[in-house]
Amino acid sequence: MEKELKTIFTNFKVNNKSIPVEHLRYKGKSKTFVTWTIISEVPSLSANDDYLYSEVKVDIDVFSDGNYLDIIKEVKKLMKNNNWLWVEDSEEMYEEDTELYHKTITFEKERFIDNG
């Protein structure tokens, strides 16, 4: 799933502006960025005493010092186009320490488990 998410967000742009996207933590200087975290993976289908599929959940965190609604819209579009199911959005947050607005979007997807 990590490789898939990295591919999905390669060269991520919103309104012709590049938005940095990183796994877990962003260490750059941009005031607008996205991070993603795999938050859970649980078995969803088994047969013959083996797991066949799992359900993976990922949080996509959008941070910005301004309006981030177009970024959220583009994230949802990209994830949907890659067969991820939108689960929920967090409440709107303001991070006092960084002075950035922040919103988390949760998605899930079923994954085939290669037991070979």
Tens of pLDDT, residues 4-16: 999 999 999 999 9
Domain boundaries, the chain: 2-112
d(CA 41, CA 90): 20
What the block records as the tokens of 35 is: 């991070």
d(CA 58, CA 5): 9
| Per-residue model confidence (pLDDT) at position 101 | 97
Tens of pLDDT, residues 104-115: 999 999 987 776
Tens of pLDDT, residues 32-78: 999 999 999 887 777 777 777 889 999 999 999 999 999 999 999 99
d(CA 55, CA 82): 15
d(CA 74, CA 97): 27
Tens of pLDDT, residues 90-102: 999 999 999 999 9
CATH number of 2-112: 3.30.2000.30
Helix (H) / strand (E) containing 5 = helix 2-8
| Per-residue model confidence (pLDDT) at position 116 | 57
